[in-house]
Structure 1
Amino acid sequence: MLSVIRCVLLLALLCAAQRSTYAQLSKTEKKIVSHVDAHRKEALTLLEEVVNINSGTMNFDGVYKVGQIFKAKLDALGFKTRWVDGKPFNRAGHLIGEHKGNNSGKTVLLIGHLDTVFELSSPFQKYAMVNDSIASGPGVGDMKGGDVVIIQSLQALHDAGLLKDMNIIVFYSGDEELSGEPLSLARHELIEAAKVADIALGFEDGDGRFETANISRRSSFDWTLKVSGVPSHSSQIFTERVGAGAIYEACRIVNGFYEALSKEENLTFNPGVILGGTTVDHNIDENGGKAFGKGNIVAKDVIVTGDIRAISPEQLSKAQQVMKEIVAKHLPQTQAEITFGDGYPPLAPTPGNYQLLKTFDQISRDLNMGSVRAVNPRDAGAADISFTSGYVDMAMDGLGLRSSGGHTVDERADIRTVNMQAKRTAVLLYRLLK
């Protein structure tokens, strides 16, 4: 019922926007909006075209084909485009487009991704209309809809004669859903683009709502705990020679994480896999493995893997230090170590990000599309925009389509929000860069 009410409210907003004269917009901004409307059919045709091309992360040919479609669109707008070969990090690659305007003003980085979670083996492969406003299809919301919003926004600015003065970088990654390794290579070009930019905008679907945007995202880092003990007959456990064994030590550590850190706001640390026993065979690539042991043998080894998510670099560093300290307090005759892998850094809610949201909110109100509030960071995952953290003055994500069912065969998107997001984005770019 709640989703039905939201759809009705959204439809009412659309009708109001169509009746409105956009009194709060300047003459130039009204021109931008009219150009977005003029390209509506073209944008929806583009959306259907790219959704119908399978671009699961590991389907390198498909990712490249989708990239070439967007490359042609950027080329037509005067962008200097290039394809970054993904062989060094075992992925298809990335598409980068750069537009240098006729002024020395600020540079905005627009971020999308070409890949989806749906590989060639998935039964979910084609774009389809559920009704007159809702479309289904692999990546229609996450995030080919957002990719199209970028193009439609830029086309409106170009047709209004405004793009020629703007400094814009478009970055479409080819491995957002399953990052290449090493991550330092897979995200090198994105970080380099962030160093040049002043403002970053991401076109992920955020929390799936049109009324929200992300000014913060939590980190996503892997951790691995390895524990060892003295193998022995179970009758000797807790003796001075044998001690507690690996499984008791692993339980102490994981429970210690919970007791010390579970109340920390916006911090989570999840043990996803645990293997323990006399022998442990851990398969890193498959995130699993097998273990052998008996009830009458004290366990020799334990491996626990999980992730940690934090809202800021400071919170992440503090949590990692606490976890290391807990690991260091060994039970008798046991040893343990914890390591943290590469991952997505946190995007902290900085004053600049709040100011960007405030500007975007005002634009949405001026367009009679309602207010925009910040997404609760617990309601959205990690995303590529986090790699701009510390480099840009302002960053905001979640400018994709209103959607639901992401990463499942029930993925849906409201195609009316293609036009709506393009209008909000194009006017935002104009106000930021004029």
Structure 2
Amino acid sequence: MMNPLDLPFNAEEMLAGLKPWIETESPTFDAAAVNRMMDVVQHELAALGGKVERIPGRMGLGDSVRATMPHARAGEGGILLLGHLDTVHPLGTIDVLPFKREGEICYGPGLMDMKGGNYVYLDALRKLFAAGIETPLPVTVLFTPDEEIGTPSTRELIEAEAKRHKYILVPEPARPDGGAVIGRYAIARFNLTARGKPSHAGWQLAEGRSAIAAMAKKVAEIEAMTTEDCTFSVGVFNSGRWVNCVSSVCDAEVLSMAKTQELLDEGIAKMMAFNSTEGDVTLEVTRGVTRPVWAPDQAGTMEMFGLAQEIAGEIGFELSGASAGGGSDGNFTGFLGLPTLDSIGVRGKDLHTLNEHIFIDSLVERARLAAALYCRLGA
């Protein structure tokens, strides 16, 4: 049998295949756009011989796609390739951040997080099938539409599917040093609403009570609670429509990251303490979606990581492993105690910005890692 490390991976071929993925923009909150991306992937999975299911979206979000890949024991639990196809970039970002290559770098919205990794791991399957190589364990692919907003609509689907499998591969982008993630910090989201008293800003300014001003003060207080082990960030702030009106309602969203569950619980308590029903301006704080702590050093995960390090050494690079912030759907599978290897996708920089890009040499590097993992897990 051919060594999976010797499969004919080609970076130029992968870039050509990635181009329509990146140019099919898929911001989370645009279900139709996400579903267009699911159409692209559904077709590719079918072309690979997969038995493909389209799982309708809910909560106003996009669909999911699940594919049982060809195998003598197809449908049995084995390896789950788990990824998301939504991005943080709104429609039209492709006009200011076009898919383009400059030397050894390639740019594009969602290329690093995480369409690049998803594509590479599918390309590894494509090359294995073309070479007639059957993996020891059957592979199932699950692509979801809502990871960038905390996975509110598909967590149950992910957990139910993951429990059927022995190993979970999550090709989120690699850590800054190129390393994998073997644990993740907890993430909590909060929705805040300040309510004041409206008035005409030019005629009766003193009669009003500005929800914007009150929320702005709370933003400073909230972000001042940040420590190295538990952070607080206000990422959404919405209010006002007419400049000549004192705004009576202001909404905001807060993200908190904590290294341990105990620290997260403390952070949640601090956030909930901002609830106030007294005074001229009230503040309501409600919990949003939460990602649980995925504790590092779990036996099954560490065995997978050890194998990945061994493979990386054969390819010619060193693979580190660590816990990380920036939650992913690996939080859920790791929290369940399922062997999970996360952030084994492409290397790059500046995800979630208008400079998002990948290092092209990581495409073949990670495809070889993927092919060898498919072939050695369960062997």
**What's the TM-score bracket when you normalise by the shorter of the two chains?**
0.7 to 0.9
Aligned: 1:126 with 2:94 = no
1:8 aligns to what? none
The offset of 1:41, in angstroms, is: 4.3
Aligned: 1:377 with 2:324 = yes
The runs of 5 or more residues in structure 1 that have no matched partner are 1-27, 230-246, 274-285, 291-299
The offset of 1:46, in angstroms, is: 0.8
The offset of 1:179, in angstroms, is: 5.3
1:223 aligns to what? 190
TM normalised by structure 2 equals: 0.78
1:91 aligns to what? 61
The offset of 1:413, in angstroms, is: 1.2
The offset of 1:54, in angstroms, is: 2.3
2:371 aligns to what? 426
Counterparts of 1:19-168 in structure 2, within 5 Å, are 28=1, 31-37=3-9, 40-86=11-57, 88-99=58-69, 101-103=71-73, 107-122=78-93, 123-124=95-96, 126-131=98-103, 133-163=104-134, 165-168=136-139
State the distance in 1 between where 2:191 and 2:259 align: 21
Secondary structure of 1:287's partner? strand
Aligned: 1:348 with 2:295 = yes
1:360 aligns to what? 308
Cα–Cα, structure 1 residues 142 and 252, in superposed 2: closer, same or farther, change >3 Å?
closer
Task: Map Cα deviations across residues 1-35 of structure 1 (whole Å, 9 max, x no partner).
Answer: xxxxxxxxxxxxxxxxxxxxxxxxxxx4x531222
State the distance in 1 between where 2:193 and 2:162 align: 36
Task: Map Cα deviations across residues 361-390 of structure 1 (whole Å, 9 max, x no partner).
Answer: 11100222x211124524xx1222222233
1:102 and 1:164 in contact (8 A); partners too: no
The offset of 1:415, in angstroms, is: 1.9
Task: Map Cα deviations across residues 101-154 of structure 1 (whole Å, 9 max, x no partner).
Answer: 4359862221222222222233335321112x2111222222221121111111
State the distance in 2 between where 1:318 and 1:157 align: 48
1:213 aligns to what? 180
Cα–Cα, structure 1 residues 152 and 226, in superposed 2: closer, same or farther, change >3 Å?
closer
Secondary structure of 1:141's partner? helix
Aligned: 1:309 with 2:257 = yes
The runs of 5 or more residues in structure 2 that have no matched partner are 197-212, 241-247
Aligned partner letter, 1:428: L
Aligned: 1:268 with 2:231 = yes
Task: Map Cα deviations across residues 292-349 of structure 1 (whole Å, 9 max, x no partner).
Answer: xxxxxxxx9998752221234454335435666x6699999x9987542223333221
2:154 aligns to what? 186
State the distance in 2 between where 1:407 and 1:228 align: 31
1:99 and 1:166 in contact (8 A); partners too: no
The offset of 1:49, in angstroms, is: 2.4
Aligned partner letter, 1:288: N
Secondary structure of 1:154's partner? helix
Cα–Cα, structure 1 residues 414 and 186, in superposed 2: closer, same or farther, change >3 Å?
same
The offset of 1:433, in angstroms, is: 2.3
1:194 and 1:392 in contact (8 A); partners too: no
Aligned partner letter, 1:401: V
1:356 and 1:395 in contact (8 A); partners too: yes
1:288 aligns to what? 238
Number of residues paired by the alignment?
A: 355
Aligned partner letter, 1:193: E
1:216 and 1:311 in contact (8 A); partners too: no
1:409 aligns to what? 354
Secondary structure of 2:330's partner? helix
Cα–Cα, structure 1 residues 287 and 343, in superposed 2: closer, same or farther, change >3 Å?
farther
Pick one of 152, 167, 170 that aligns with 1:202.
170
1:279 aligns to what? none
State the distance in 2 between where 1:110 and 1:153 align: 12
The offset of 1:431, in angstroms, is: 1.3
1:226 and 1:337 in contact (8 A); partners too: yes
- Rg larger in structure: 1
Aligned partner letter, 2:190: W
2:143 aligns to what? 172
Cα–Cα, structure 1 residues 213 and 58, in superposed 2: closer, same or farther, change >3 Å?
same
The offset of 1:221, in angstroms, is: 1.5
1:5 aligns to what? none
State the distance in 1 between where 2:219 and 2:11 align: 56
Secondary structure of 1:389's partner? helix
State the distance in 1 between where 2:30 and 2:269 align: 39
Cα–Cα, structure 1 residues 36 and 113, in superposed 2: closer, same or farther, change >3 Å?
farther
Cα–Cα, structure 1 residues 256 and 309, in superposed 2: closer, same or farther, change >3 Å?
closer
State the distance in 2 between where 1:258 and 1:205 align: 30
1:20 aligns to what? none
Please report the RMSD computed on the Cα atoms of aligned residues, expressed in angstroms. 3.8
The offset of 1:426, in angstroms, is: 1.2
2:45 and 2:67 in contact (8 A); partners too: yes
Please list every run of at least 4 consecutive aligned residues from structure 1 whose deviation after the TM superposition is greater than 4 angstroms.
103-106, 224-229, 250-259, 300-305, 321-324, 326-332, 334-338
State the distance in 1 between where 2:297 and 2:70 align: 27
State the distance in 2 between where 1:116 and 1:327 align: 31
Task: Map Cα deviations across residues 176-198 of structure 1 (whole Å, 9 max, x no partner).
Answer: 23457xx1x33332222122122
1:195 and 1:392 in contact (8 A); partners too: no
State the distance in 1 between where 2:168 and 2:115 align: 18
